[in-house]
Amino acid sequence: MNLDTAREALKKYFGYDSFRPMQADIIRKVYEGCDSLVLMPTGGGKSICYQIPAVTMPGAAIVVSPLISLMKDQVEGLRANGIRAAFLNSSLEESAQRKVEEEALAGRLDLLYVSPEKLVSQNFLPLLRSIRPNLFAIDEAHCISSWGHDFRPEYTQLRFLKKEFPETPIIALTATADKLTRRDIIAQLELRQPGLFIASFDRPNLSLEVRPGQRRLEQIAAFIKKRPGQPGIIYCLSRKSTEDLAEKLLERGISAAHYHAGMEAGERTAVQEDFINDRTEVICATVAFGMGIDKSNVRWVIHYNLPKNIESYYQEIGRCGRDGANADTLLFYSFNDVMVLQDILQKNESDMLDIKMAKLERMRQYAEAVGCRRRILLSYFGEDVKQDCGNCDICKNPPQAFDGTVIAQKALSAIHRLRQQAGMAMLIDVLRGSGKKEILDRGYQNIKTYGAGRDIPILEWQHYFHQLLNLGYIEIAHDQHGAVQLTPASRRVLFEGEKVQLVRFATIKERQEAEKARAKEAAKPQRVRDELFEKLRQLRIQLARERGVPPYIIFNDATLEEMAATRPMTDEEMKNISGVGERKLHLYGSYFIDAIIEFTGPASRRGKASTYQVTHDMYQRGLSVEEIAGKRQVNITTIYSHLAILYEQGIDIALEEMVSPAVVSQVLKSLRYLQEPYLLKDIYEYLDEQVPYHQIRLALAYGKRQGMVAG
Ligand code: ADP
Ligand code: ZN
């Protein structure tokens, strides 16, 4: 077995051109008969690492997976790619089990998925012996360790595999395993000098954003409206809030449902199925949701409340964008959430309380960070990152620092004068000179800092207090009802002239304005793509309905995006799209090609598109425009317009040989004085009939492809 065979299989079955980092190395290990431990983030591409060996090596691979629904999904996905896969678990009827077993024995399977219960059961061993597996893949391998979460007792019996099948390589895969868990996996499975593959946990396609938790409902509704037709998950802290939120979204015409562990099993399954099949767009859920689903086209995740640690947060946002296409995450943060979580921890979790509190504190620091968020996340997971990511809210809208010494002095002095007994809300009231009865009753109107911060709004004060907390200038005494207290550092500010740098408060409004401006900037080149993408997405839903499979089984979002951007119109071109393997090309290719042709050619059908194709073929063979026109018996302008359209579709046409930069700039400038839609005739006249039509057409094509002219 060599890697060329592996690469061919990757293209043939999955339609991918190359392996991701590490995949090839892992596969090579399997071919060499060695064991491996693979740590990759969700969506990192773990499955390929055993699926490719399974389809290229003689015999069948056994995949152990603890989640029944996921097993079904995977098998369905594999079959859609023309791979011979099946599963065995308790959800199957006796007769169906028998059938799968027969297939396995007859050597008609490349992959057999089994639940751990099934694998370790006594009556399975004889079957396993006669199949003589070529590979064991242990998915969610962290379940073997009582150190990690999701401990599964059956997993600990898996050590019999090495004893029974000492020659068969084992590959253990997981997305979460700290050092202790890793060691446990290796020991329990008795892996022999395993290759250790730890991929970066970076998910560059996920944007990261944190916003203050005010008017969350409005913000969420606006967020969703901006993303029509894009499935997403909103994580809430309590069961009740999932229900409330879903209802409020429904009232606003958003297709939403709630999900939590308190619902009946049947109800939960129905909600999940609707989501998987793109019938429900938004799920408001507790963290119980998402574990067992493999939906790759979730486009966004919102945290309505602060998660209790960074591990959970990262795992939850990791449920979007698994197909590699861009996806957005948004975390709402309020100090109140922190208090609530602290309370919950203190009430319920007596063991390792300190650690849990410290983890919550890290989460809070993340939410309040004023540096690149991805760097914070990755450094938390022990990765050394040297560059800002450019895809988080801080990178996109860097906060401005200013000399906040005076503000800090006012705040600290207020704390001092209230004898370090007051909570944050009270302090802000005093600073703002509030006339609340509570304040006046206590005589706080008479202290020196009363009203000293009148000019700063409440929200802004909160923001500064949080910064002072992060900077270590104040602390909060949780055991004294959240009284804000001074630290040694605060004395340096009050008495020794230490300067304090604070970050300017960007109001929600300012942030939204900034985002709007960015969206506008990005909108032009994307507009056409979005329309076609939407069309292809609808087609995918329709095909999925007819076939009774989830839409992402047909093609995933990243594949549709690439189709929309490059507009393949022939089988040959379609094959080049990442995610289009032989079987899917055969099954669905023509549907999507037709849709693209219909969208692209003005009122055109296949005939028209092949007309472009004919021109393109001749052009590629090196014929001049005149020669093509002559052969095809059409006028030259028509051929130029074909070439312009092909160029717009991203096809390699040497436009610069046909139109000069001067003309291009002349034409594009003229658009400023004309109205959309731009008619060739208007431009022609505007340019005093000096520039021939075909040159104008070519210049426009250039403008469109550069995103300077809307499609
Ligand atoms: P994991 O099991 O690690 O969560 P998957 O194996 O489900 O991740 O892969 C996530 C997505 O990435 C899937 O849509 C998969 O088809 C895609 N993918 C995996 N490997 C490649 C590759 N080499 N090229 C392109 N896409 C890939
Ligand atoms: Zn960043």
Joined together, the tokens standing for residue 246 give 């879903």
> Which mutation among 322, 326, 560, 562 tests ligand 1's pocket best, with the greatest number of atoms within 8 A of CB?
322
> Which mutation among 7, 10, 16 tests ligand 1's pocket best, with the greatest number of atoms within 8 A of CB?
16
What average pLDDT does the structure give for the chain? 87
Joined together, the tokens standing for residue 601 give 């050619």
Distances from the Cα of 591 to the Cαs of 121, 216, 569, in angstroms?
46, 41, 11
Q: Which atom of ligand 1 lies closest to the CA of 49? A: 6
Q: Which pLDDT score, from 0 to 100, does residue 283 have?
A: 97
Q: Which pLDDT score, from 0 to 100, does residue 241 have?
A: 95
Half-sphere exposure of 197 (CA within 13 A, CB side): 28
Ligand 1: distance of its center to the CA of 324 in Å? 8
Q: Which pLDDT score, from 0 to 100, does residue 391 have?
A: 94
Ligand 2: distance of its center to the CA of 210 in Å? 12
Ligand 1: distance of its center to the CA of 328 in Å? 19
Task: Write the DSSP string, 40-67.
Answer: --TTS-HHHHHHHHHHHSSS-EEEE-S-
Q: CA 319 to CA 23: how far, in whole Å?
A: 21
> Which ligand minimizes its atom distance to the CA of 15?
1
Q: What CATH number is given for 3-198 in this structure? A: 3.40.50.300
SS3 72: helix
pLDDT digits (tens, 9 = 90+) for 204-257: 999 999 998 888 999 999 999 888 889 999 999 999 999 999 999 999 999 999
Close Cβ partners of 662 (under 8 Å, ≥ 6 residues apart): none
Ligand 2: distance of its center to the CA of 208 in Å? 8
With a cut of 70, list the residues of the chain below it in pLDDT: 147-150, 177, 291-292, 349-350, 478, 506-530, 601-610, 711
Ligand 2: distance of its center to the CA of 360 in Å? 21
Cα of 234 vs its chain's centroid, Å: 14
Ligand 1: distance of its center to the CA of 139 in Å? 14
Residue at 272: amino acid letter: Q
Residue ID of nearest Cα to ligand 1 atom 25: 16
Ligand 2: distance of its center to the CA of 558 in Å? 23
> Which ligand minimizes its atom distance to the CA of 20?
1
Whether the domain at 3-198 and the domain at 401-503 fall into the same CATH topology: no
Helix (H) or strand (E) holding 474: strand 474-477
> Which mutation among 11, 12, 14 tests ligand 1's pocket best, with the greatest number of atoms within 8 A of CB?
14
> Ligand 1: which residues within 6 Å by Cβ?
16, 19-20, 23, 40, 42-48, 296, 322-324, 556, 578
Ligand 2: distance of its center to the CA of 386 in Å? 11
> Which ligand minimizes its atom distance to the CA of 377?
2
Residue ID of nearest Cα to ligand 1 atom 20: 45
Place of tokens 């969610």: 140
Pick the CATH number of 206-396 from 3.40.50.300, 3.20.20.60, 3.30.1490.190, 3.30.70.260: 3.40.50.300
Ligand 2: distance of its center to the CA of 214 in Å? 23
Exposed e or buried b for every residue in 555-572, given b needs 16+ CB within 10 A?
Answer: bbbbbbbbbbbbbbbeee
> Which ligand minimizes its atom distance to the CA of 323?
1
H-type helices in 381-457, by residue range? Answer: 393-396, 405-417, 424-431, 437-441
Q: Which pLDDT score, from 0 to 100, does residue 605 have?
A: 40
Q: What CATH number is given for 531-705 in this structure? A: 1.10.150.80
Helix (H) or strand (E) holding 503: strand 501-503
pTM, rounded to two decimals: 0.63
> Which ligand minimizes its atom distance to the CA of 206?
2
SS3 284: strand
Residue ID of nearest Cα to ligand 1 atom 5: 45
> Which mutation among 18, 48, 320 tests ligand 1's pocket best, with the greatest number of atoms within 8 A of CB?
48
Q: CA 554 to CA 549: how far, in whole Å?
A: 8
Query: CA geometry: angle at 545 spanning 543 and 546, to 5°?
Result: 65
Q: Which pLDDT score, from 0 to 100, does residue 388 have?
A: 85
In 80-122 the beta strands, taken as DSSP E runs, fall at 85-88, 111-114
Q: Which pLDDT score, from 0 to 100, does residue 523 have?
A: 42
Close Cβ partners of 28 (under 8 Å, ≥ 6 residues apart): 3
Domain-wise residue ranges, the chain: 3-198, 206-396, 401-503, 531-705
**CATH architecture of structural domain 401-503:** Orthogonal Bundle (1.10)
